[in-house]
Amino acid sequence: MSQEQALQKKEQQAVQTVQEATEQEVIMQPAVDVSEHANGIVLRADLPGVHKDQLSIELEGDQLVIDGKVRLDLPEQLDARYAEIQTSRYRRSFTLGKDLDGENIEADLKKGVLTLRIPKRAEVLPRKISIKSGD
């Protein structure tokens, strides 16, 4: 194989690698903030471009999985001639502690920010104990 043929082969391989990379779906981890309060935790995840119908939140055992597909809405008169990312997906998973109540999670998606409110289990919440009079 001549040097020119070897260079052509390397160039073809590079082009093929770029094509394969652009055809694959890109999976990104969303930035997340978690804050704890007396009754549970609040988890906020940045999911720009994800619509409610493209968002999945699943709980299996103690594993919470957030999965959202980005949908790029282009006006009908526009056609993307070049786009490095055709579709992308946000995916992140968390292990919930034993003190959290996975059955009563509340989810809200506004302006690309997912807010999950995960309450603590009733049995781990502080409670007031009444005192009976011994008189």
Q: Is position 81 within any domain?
A: yes
Q: Is position 12 within any domain?
A: no
Q: Is position 104 within any domain?
A: yes
Q: What is the count of structural domains for the chain?
A: 1
Instruction: Kindly state the average pLDDT of the residues 4-32.
Output: 66
Q: Is position 130 within any domain?
A: no
Q: What is the pTM of this model?
A: 0.69
Identify the bridge partners of residue 95 per DSSP, sorted by sequence position.
63
Whether the Cβ atoms of residue 43 and residue 34 lie closer than 8 Å to each other: yes
Q: Is position 91 within any domain?
A: yes
Residue 22 above 50 pLDDT? no
DSSP E strands, the chain: 26-28, 32-37, 40-46, 50-60, 63-70, 88-95, 106-110, 113-119
| Structure confidence by residue, pLDDT tens digits, 42-66 | 999 999 989 999 999 999 999 999 9
Segments forming the whole domain that contains residue 92: 26-124
What percent of the chain is predicted at pLDDT more than 70? 72
Q: Is position 14 within any domain?
A: no
Instruction: Kindly state the average pLDDT of the residues 113-127.
Output: 88
